[in-house]
C-alpha cells in the first residue's frame, strides 16, 4: 500500500458570486487538470445574512453537474423544468445540468443567521454533455453514516466506502464524496483508489495529511513529517490536493478534524469553459451562448 503524498496545500480565497454572495473558493476558473473530473469547489459558509440573501438568481448551466451540500440553513431552488424545493441541513442536491437548465438558488439562514454549505462542480464527459437534465435530492436521513471503532465518523454522500454505498447514483465520473470526522489526536488511514484524483477540504479542527515515513514533496514545506519541523497543519478552509497512491493518512489535531474527501476518475478531455457552461470545444461554447441569446438553449427533453 502506498500513502498519497500531499501535492499542494491551499487556502480558499474570498470571492463574490451570484447577486453578491460572499463565499470562499477552494479551486476553480483556472487550470483544474489536477482536480479532473472536478472543476470548482465553493465554500459558502456565512453568518451574515446581508452577505448571502441576494443569492444566485436565474442563470444557465450546461455540460456539468453541481453538487450542493448544506450544513446549516436552507437553499430554496427553482428551475426551467418547473421544479421547486429546498435543501436543508445535512441534505444534498446533485444536479446534472446536461444539455441545459436555467435555475436559481436562494439561500436562507437558520434561526441564528447561519448559511453553511459547499458547492462542487463535476465535469461531464463529452458523451454526456447533452444528456437530459436531472436532479437527485437526498435528505440527511438517507445518507449512510459509518462510525469506526476509534470513533472516526464518515457520511457517504456518493460512491462506495467501508462497505456502504451513498444514495447518489449514475454519475459519469464515478465520484466518491465523503464527510469525514476524525477524533482528537487520532491517526487514520483511509483508502482511495490509485486511479483517482483526490482532494480534502478541511472545515473544522485541524490536522496533518502526510506520510509518516517518507519526505513530503510540498513547495511550502520540504521536510518529512517525521522530522523535527512537521508540515504545516491543514486547518479550517484549507484544501489539500493529493498526489498518487492508494490510501491517505491524516493525523487529527487537539480538536479533531472534519473534512470533505472527494475523489474521481479523471476524464482527460479538453475543457472549453466560460462562466456556468463547460464544453469540450470553443465552437460548442459559442453555440451554447448563441442559443441562450436566441431562446433555444433549453432542449425539449429539458422542459418536462
pLDDT tens digit sequence for 85-125: 899 999 999 999 999 999 999 999 999 999 999 999 999 99
pLDDT at 221: 42
Q: What is the pLDDT of residue 299?
A: 83
CB 56 within 8 A of CB 129: no
Strands 153-158 and 145-147: antiparallel
Torsion of CA 27, 29, 35, 38, to 10 degrees: 100
pLDDT mean across residues, the chain? 90
pLDDT mean over 27-38? 92
Cell of 60: 444557465
What φ, ψ does residue 244 adopt, rounded to 5°? -75, 150
pLDDT at 82: 86
| Cα separation, 260 vs 193, whole angstroms | 16
Strand order in the sheet with 116-123: 13-17, 21-27, 38-43, 116-123, 64-72, 92-96, 134-138
Q: 37: cis peptide before it, omega within 30°? A: yes
**pLDDT of 211 higher than 80:** no
Amino acid at each position: 500500500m502506498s500513502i498519497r503524498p500531499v501535492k499542494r496545500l491551499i487556502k480558499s480565497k474570498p470571492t463574490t458570486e451570484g447577486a453578491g454572495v460572499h463565499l470562499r473558493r477552494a479551486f476553480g476558473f483556472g487550470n483544474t487538470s489536477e482536480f479532473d473530473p472536478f472543476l470548482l469547489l465553493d465554500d459558502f459558509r456565512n453568518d451574515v445574512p446581508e452577505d448571502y440573501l441576494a443569492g444566485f438568481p436565474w442563470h444557465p448551466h450546461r455540460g456539468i453537474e453541481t453538487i450542493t451540500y448544506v450544513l446549516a440553513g436552507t437553499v430554496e431552488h427553482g428551475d426551467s423544468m418547473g421544479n421547486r424545493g429546498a435543501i436543508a441541513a445535512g441534505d444534498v442536491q446533485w444536479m446534472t445540468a446536461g444539455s441545459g437548465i436555467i435555475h436559481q438558488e436562494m439561500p436562507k439562514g437558520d434561526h441564528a443567521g447561519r448559511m453553511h454549505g459547499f458547492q462542487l462542480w463535476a465535469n461531464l464527459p463529452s458523451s454526456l454533455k447533452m444528456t437530459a437534465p436531472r436532479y437527485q435530492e437526498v435528505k440527511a436521513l438517507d445518507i449512510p453514516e459509518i462510525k469506526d471503532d476509534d470513533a472516526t465518523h464518515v457520511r457517504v454522500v456518493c460512491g462506495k466506502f467501508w462497505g456502504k454505498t451513498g444514495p447518489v447514483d449514475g454519475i459519469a465520473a464515478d465520484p466518491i464524496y465523503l464527510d469525514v470526522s476524525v477524533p482528537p489526536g487520532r491517526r487514520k488511514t483511509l483508502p482511495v483508489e490509485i486511479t483517482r484524483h483526490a482532494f480534502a477540504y478541511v472545515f473544522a479542527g485541524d490536522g496533518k495529511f502526510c506520510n509518516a515515513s517518507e519526505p513530503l514533496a510540498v513547495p511550502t514545506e520540504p521536510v518529512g513529517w517525521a522530522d523535527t519541523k512537521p508540515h504545516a497543519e491543514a486547518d479550517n478552509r484549507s484544501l489539500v490536493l493529493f498526489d498518487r497512491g492508494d490510501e491517505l493518512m491524516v493525523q487529527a489535531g487537539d480538536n479533531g478534524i472534519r473534512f470533505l474527501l472527494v475523489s474521481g476518475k479523471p476524464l482527460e478531455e479538453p475543457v472549453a469553459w466560460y462562466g456556468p457552461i463547460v464544453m469540450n470545444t470553443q465552437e460548442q461554447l459559442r453555440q451554447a451562448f448563441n442559443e441562450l441569446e436566441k431562446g433555444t438553449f433549453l432542449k425539449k427533453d429539458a422542459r418536462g
